[in-house]
Amino acid sequence: MAKDTKAAMRTFFKKAVKKNAEHQHVSIWLDTGMPHFNKAISGKYSGGFPCGRITEIFGWESSGKTYVATQAMIACQKMGGIAIFMDHEKSFDSQLAEKCGLDVGDNGNWIYQHPKTFEESIIYAGNIIKQIRDEKIIEPETPITLVFDSLASMIPKQLYEKMMNKANGKESKKDDVNMNDNTALARCTSTYFPTLASWASDFNVCMIFLNQCRQDIGVVFGDNTKAAGGKSPAFYASLRIQLSKAQIKDKKSNERVGDVVTAKAIKNKVAPPFKTAAWNFYYDTDIGIDSTESLVDHMLAIGYLKKDSSGKILLNEKSYSRKNVIDNFKLLDKSAIVNLLEKWHLENAEKADAAMDMDKEDIPDDEEELEEA
């Protein structure tokens, strides 16, 4: 009987199903420019942002969200891909981005727009990525990076039209802003995000939504920050990164010269979640982010590098200052350092992973994480 059942199942499968759909997996990663950040969000130092998935990056103002997204666009262009930036905040600094290595010219690998509404932005972006793939502008495996800056600034059409009527002196009673308008963004994300997730997968797009933070006054203990836009972004994003910052002050002048930025992967469907990475961001644009400095600090945190009794770093049985170690590492090929770290991490996984774990009190409960903005 069992044999007859199995035979019937095989026959049915061949006739009705024929072939299973391919399993979804990430094959292309976009380098963040910081190997330890790659490790925190993708599980490997040579990884980065996942293509074919939605990533949400949210944090307070000036926490480095746009810089992080710019690194993804730079990596995409280096692989022969196309970077698309939908600027709803109207604040993108193209000169600074170009200084970082982004090609912002009219060479076809950079598309920059500032749409008026949420719906206009999504439809425009969808048409562009579909046209790129349909017309085979680039190879199917070559990535596209699509960045929306920011989700909180994407004005729903119904609210935009009301505000325009007010501005043009054509206001009527129906143009009064009400609770329906306050929840319009959440309804937009609920409507469009299922399709966006499909587009990301179907068209091999690294889709990044930058987002703003809000305070949840109902949270008494733990982190009371949440992202704008309702529940859907949290459901459909495979990777959610929360950025926070702390001041860096000059020891002599006591002036604030930068921030220590900490990234927390509060949701991750492509690698182990709840990992952290930190880096120093300096206001001096000639410095910006020193990825080597941050990588050395990471090596110390996980135990790859150790300090002697005087606080100097041990390297090849000799003691060096932190600055000397950073300068020496800058002379090395970064890929060689990545390979060494990957090998060491495999042999010391438990210790290294523990050093990158988020604090338990910062790990969100499901109800808190998906609280509607």
Amino acid at position 207, single letter: M
**pLDDT at residue 286, as a whole number:** 79
pLDDT > 50? residue 197:
yes
Residues 6+ apart with CB under 8 A from 61: 212
- Position 179 scores a pLDDT of 77
Looking at residue 220, what is its pLDDT? Answer: 65
What's the CATH class of domain 23-289+357-369?
A: alpha beta
The whole-number pLDDT of residue 4 equals 84
Residues with Cβ within 8 Å of 369's Cβ and at least 6 positions away in sequence, in order, are 226, 234, 266, 267
Question: How does residue 369 score in pLDDT terms, banded at 50, 70 and 90?
Answer: very low
- Predicted confidence at residue 178, as pLDDT, reads 78
Give the start-to-end residue ranges of the domains of the chain: 23-289+357-369
Q: Which of 209-218, 221-230, 263-272 has the lowest mean pLDDT?
A: 221-230
User: Hunting for tokens 């997730």 — which residue is that?
Assistant: 197
Residue 225's Cβ-count burial label (10 Å; 0-12, 13-18, 19+) is middle
Per-residue model confidence as pLDDT tens digits over 136-190: 999 999 999 999 999 999 999 999 999 998 888 877 777 777 778 889 999 999 9
Nearest to 118 by CA among 160, 178, 74: 160
* Structure confidence at residue 370 (pLDDT): 39
